[in-house]
Amino acid sequence: MSKVIITCAVTGSAHTPTMSKYLPLTPDAIAEQAIEAAEAGAAILHLHARDPQDGRPTADPRVFSQFVPRIQAYTDAVINITTGGSVHMSLADRLAYALEISPELCSLNMGSMNFSLHPVARKITDWRYAWEKPYVEAFEDSIFRNTFKDIKQILQVLGEERGTRFEFECYDVGHLYNLAFFINEGLLKPPLFIQSIYGILGGMGPDPENLMLMRTTADRLFGRENYRFSVLGAGKHQMPLAATSAVMGGNVRVGLEDSLYLGKGELAVSNAEQVRKIRRILEELSLEIATPDEARAMLGLKGRDKVNF
């Protein structure tokens, strides 16, 4: 079995400040938590930005630039910039910072879909900021837009023109077929990094059978030697599905972007706490953790000296 890549997604754009006081919101907090997560064993840091005033998701390159270079200076982790941003942002906004810095890795969402956590708004009565409630409720009537043309544009402007490779975010089995379509179009080459996602309202459910379906479908479409499989389980499914992925020879993603909890009813106090937990589980299974440079080799990345920041 090869070493396991731990990705840590530090803050995201779905959770809001009221949901956990530990969610990093400012550039300082994002940088500190990201660096601690890398020290704990995360080889890849998946990054979004938030408005320092009130924690609202933002795609503003001026905000990203307050923490990304700092993380790069203090860790050798692979910096992975989101191109998904938030379902409420335009594609141009979502791409702005990645185009500026040409990172080694970016997320790339493989289809348009419903993507929601609006039922959470019903459970919260006391919001910390006024923007949060309408923001969470608006998911119910929003589309996470990733058309074939959008995906092609991202593959061209980031992949072909800037040498960035991708964390292909696949929320359904059809997204693997979309990925196969772009290989046939000649727009991307192995090794692929497939981040399969379970438990988002609008995507596949968190049943282990779905992991098996994604794995066997990816084997058939791409051949096992041509891709690295990874698993992101949302919310309470995070750790069990990550462990299942590792047992199946896959990689794992944790982080407060996808779950605010460490265990039942217990908020994680930091991203690093989740990284340490999955690391303990992996090591108990006699699995080894990939270093950032090992992850670079496994994913065919261009190297940290070839980015523009």
Applying CB under 6 A, which residues contact ligand KMH?
A: 9, 12, 82-84, 107, 109, 169, 197, 200, 257-258
Pairing of strands 49-50, 44-47: unpaired
Q: Find all residues with CB under 8 Å of 189, minimum gap 6, and list them.
A: 183
- Cα distances (angstroms) measured from residue 79 to each of 82, 192, 231: 10, 17, 18
What residues between 49 and 108 interact with Zn ion by CB under 5 A? Answer: 82
Cβ closer to Zn ion: 15 or 279? 15
- Name the residue with the smallest CB distance to Zn ion: 82
Cβ closer to ligand KMH: 83 or 271? 83
Cβ closer to Zn ion: 82 or 164? 82
- Partner that binds at residue 41, options Zn ion, ligand KMH, none, CB closer than 5 to 8 Å by kind: none
The secondary structure element, H or E, covering residue 18 is none
- Minimum CB separation of residue 100 from Zn ion in Å reads 18
Q: Is 251 in the site for Zn ion (CB under 5 A)?
A: no
What single string gives the DSSP state of each residue in 100-168?
Answer: HH--SEEEEE-S-B--B-GGGGGG--S-SSTTHHHHHHGGGG--B---HHHHHHHIIIIIIHH--EEEE
| Side-chain-facing half-sphere of 295: CA atoms under 13 Å | 32
- Minimum CB separation of residue 25 from Zn ion in Å reads 15
- Partner that binds at residue 255, options ligand KMH, Zn ion, none, CB closer than 5 to 8 Å by kind: none
Cβ closer to ligand KMH: 37 or 287? 37
Footprint of Zn ion (CB under 5 A): 82
